Structure formats: C-alpha cells, structure tokens
Amino acid sequence: FLNLYAKNIKTYLPLKTSKGTIYMDLYTYGIFNKTISYINNNIDKNASILVLPEGHIINYLTDRKTDMKCHMMDRLYHDAFGSERARDEIFWSNPDYIIIIKKFKLHDFFHQYLYKSNNNPSIIYIYHHYEKVKQIENKLGQVKIMKKKE
C-alpha cells in the first residue's frame, strides 16, 4: 500500500477503526486518519465512494461501498482500456463521492498522467460533475474529497 516508500521511517502509528488496526508511517497516518475521520463524521453510511487512482482500503475501513467494476484506475488501466473507458466506468458507477489521492511518492503510478493532463476525459468528467468539499494535505500528499453536484 502507501507505506512502500517509507523504508527508512522507523515510527509507525496505529490507525484504529472498527474494522481493525493498521500501522502507517507518520505522514501517511496523519492524512489518512483525517480522511477517515471526515468520511465517518460527514458522509452518510449508504453513500458510495470511489477512491482514485486506487484506495479501496478507505472504502473498507470506513464501511462505504463502491460500485466500480475496476477498483484501480492506474496507468495500466488507462493504457489497456483507454481514457474514455475510464471515464465511462466513473459515469456508469455514478458514485456519490470521489476521493482523489495525489502524490505520496507513487511516481510509478499514473499521477503525472492523470492529474496534469488538461484533456484527460476522467478528470474533465469529475470536475464537471463533482465539487470539492474537503481537501486534506501534508508535505507528502493530498486528498481531495469531491461530492456529486446536485
């Protein structure tokens, strides 16, 4: 998961949820603890959440569903099926919320490709149909929580 980059970090903190405890480095813990707390306190239990480019651990830890057939929209997915198919998957699943995770030193994934492209169909669709309700960040990364527009 996100801790793969933290080989030299010696301090791990317990992130406790009703599903159990996982250990994360200081920076990942801070941002994910805030994200999970926000979801648990502000998003209805029956709401569906899509986490991009991947992050169904958040769905699991918060007990929120996702209706996506493909839970990982990384560069391999885009290369194999195309950007339009990725956008269509979002359209078909029609999640109530989309959470976008950026950075966290996951350069092997498609962060540059997905987030810096002005003509990426998925991003165009998301920003047209969803609005940002919360942004949580630290020096390693950023989490944007987007809610479907009424």
| pLDDT one-digit tens code per residue, 52-62 | 877 778 888 99
pLDDT at 101 (0 to 100) = 84
Report if pTM > 0.85.
no
Cite the beta strand spans of 39-96 per DSSP E: 49-52
Give the number of other CB atoms < 10 A from CB of residue 131: 11
* CB contact set of 10 (below 8 Å; sequence gap of 6+): none
- DSSP, collapsed to helix, strand or coil, labels residue 62 as helix
Query: Could you tell me if 95 and 141 are in contact, meaning their C-beta atoms sit under 8 angstroms apart?
Result: no
Mean pLDDT of 32-56: 91
Please determine, for residue 42, whether its predicted confidence score (pLDDT) is greater than 90. yes
Distance CA 101, CA 144 (A): 7
Mean pLDDT of 44-59: 87
State phi, psi for 129 to the nearest 5 degrees.
-110, -5
**DSSP 8-state symbol, 39:** H
Chain centroid offset of residue 21 CA? 19
